[in-house]
């Protein structure tokens, strides 16, 4: 069971988030435990102060170290040794891989930064720092919700029993293929016929091909350095023959590798074989 503690000055912000959807279901089913801790409970002044002015001057307030460290120590003392994660824009950027890593932990303590920054000395008490992307949020709370959403759905049992079969974006490092539901014709836009024919193998192959095409079109960075399996190479070749790959994509995403490649490496950067990481689903 994953045990999550959230340290924040806005514990109520999490009320509705934790009351709906997957996070709520996961808590209900006893698969994850999520508690908030109010940073102000760890202050020692009448005003319950958690921030102060920056040394050296400048605008904006800085999160004081004492309440945060007192809280971390208290939570450590009562809950065993959680992995302490600071939510800050300076952390490593959350990916599916990091979410998978956290879903395997027993206890995590998420510290939500607020104000214009945190006292640098707080960092000495954290095991990890996580950001959710290259933009600025007013605080770590919303980032924390994003992280909990991504992590909770990976805890075994939270999604359906077949969730490992879901072909969702990032499951195999590719974007998801296009999806359709009824009606078969919506305002003149028809569902691709292959999806209506019920030929499961053809559907699987079509989906994989569209997944590849979409990833190369929208997120070539996701397949940089990817080792393609046999079927992917066949599908890429089909896409090329159908001229569905643009100039850059014809190199199958090995855009940067190609710049570094020398003549004896041959004309294309394509590698065959199994993927180095992630589930391999050619069976
Ligand atoms: Cl974790 N915190 C803040 N304040 N801004 C962010 C962030 C976190 N991740 C991206 N931007």
Return the domain boundaries, the chain.
2-152, 167-265
Predicted TM-score (pTM) above 0.75: yes
Computed on alpha carbons and rounded to an integer, the radius of gyration of the chain in Å comes to 24
Q: How far is the CA of 84 from the centre of ligand 1 (A)?
A: 16
Beta strands in 30-169 (DSSP E): 32-38, 51-52, 62-63, 83-93, 107-112, 117-118, 128-131
For atom 5 of ligand 1, which residue has the closest CA? Answer: 137
- The answer to whether residue 272 scores a pLDDT higher than 60 is no
Which residue is associated with the tokens 């002044």?
45
Atom of ligand 1 nearest to the CA of 114: 4
Residues with CB under 6 A from ligand 1: 87-89, 113, 131-133, 135-137, 139-140, 143
The residue whose CB lies within 8 Å of the most ligand 1 atoms, and thus the one to mutate among 61, 89, 99, is 89
Distance 78 CA to ligand 1 centre (A): 28
Is the distance from CB of 59 to CB of 188 less than 8 angstroms?
Answer: no
In the chain, what percentage of residues exceed pLDDT 90?
78
Distance 6 CA to ligand 1 centre (A): 15
According to CATH, the topology of domain 167-265 is: 1.10.1270
**Which numeric CATH code is attached to 2-152?**
3.40.1280.10
pLDDT at 97 over 50: yes
**What share of residues in the chain are helix, strand, coil (percent, to 5)?**
40, 15, 45
Q: Is the pLDDT of residue 29 over 70?
A: yes
Do 2-152 and 167-265 fold alike per CATH? no
- Position 251 scores a pLDDT of 72
Q: What is the pLDDT of residues 168-213, one digit of tens each?
A: 555 589 999 999 999 999 999 999 999 999 999 999 999 999 999 9
Q: What are phi and psi of 223, to 5 degrees?
A: -110, 10
Under 8 Å between Cβ of 37 and 5? yes
What does the pLDDT read at residue 169?
A: 53
Q: What is the pLDDT of residues 213-261, one digit of tens each?
A: 999 999 999 999 999 999 999 999 999 999 999 877 777 655 444 444 4
- Buried/exposed 184-222: b ≥16 CB within 10 Å, e otherwise: eeeeeeebeeebeeeeeeebebbbbbbbbbbbbeeebee
Whether the pLDDT of residue 281 is over 60: the answer is: no
Q: What is the pLDDT of residue 253?
A: 55
| For ligand 1, mutation pick of 140, 145, 146 (most atoms within 8 Å of CB) | 140
Retrieve residue 242's tokens. Answer: 């159908």
């Amino acid at each position: 069971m994953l045990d999550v503690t959230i340290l924040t000055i806005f514990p109520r912000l999490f009320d509705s988030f934790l009351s709906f959807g997957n996070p709520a279901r996961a808590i209900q089913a006893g698969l994850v435990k999520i508690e908030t801790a109010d940073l102000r409970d760890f202050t020692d002044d009448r005003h319950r102060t958690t921030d102060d002015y920056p040394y050296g001057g400048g605008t904006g307030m800085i999160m004081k170290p004492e309440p945060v460290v007192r809280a971390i120590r208290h939570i450590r003392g009562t809950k065993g040794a959680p992995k302490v994660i600071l939510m800050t824009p300076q952390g490593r950027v959350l990916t599916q891989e990091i979410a998978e890593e956290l879903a395997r932990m027993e206890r995590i303590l998420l510290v939500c930064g607020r104000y214009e920054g945190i006292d640098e000395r707080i960092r000495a008490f954290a095991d990890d720092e996580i950001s959710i992307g290259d933009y600025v949020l007013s605080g770590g709370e919303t980032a924390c919700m994003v992280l909990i959403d991504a992590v909770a759905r990976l805890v075994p049992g939270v999604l359906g029993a077949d969730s490992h079969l879901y072909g969702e974006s990032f499951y195999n490092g590719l974007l998801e293929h296009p999806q359709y539901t009824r009606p078969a014709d919506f305002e003149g836009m028809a569902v691709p016929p292959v999806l209506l024919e019920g030929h499961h193998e053809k559907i699987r192959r079509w989906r994989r091909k569209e997944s590849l095409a979409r990833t190369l079109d929208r997120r070539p960075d996701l397949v940089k350095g990817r080792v393609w399996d046999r079927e992917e190479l066949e599908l890429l070749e089909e896409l090329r023959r159908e001229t569905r790959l643009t100039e850059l994509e014809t190199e199958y995403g090995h855009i940067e590798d190609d710049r570094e490649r020398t003549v004896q490496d041959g004309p294309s950067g394509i590698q065959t074989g199994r993927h180095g990481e992630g589930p391999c689903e050619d069976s």
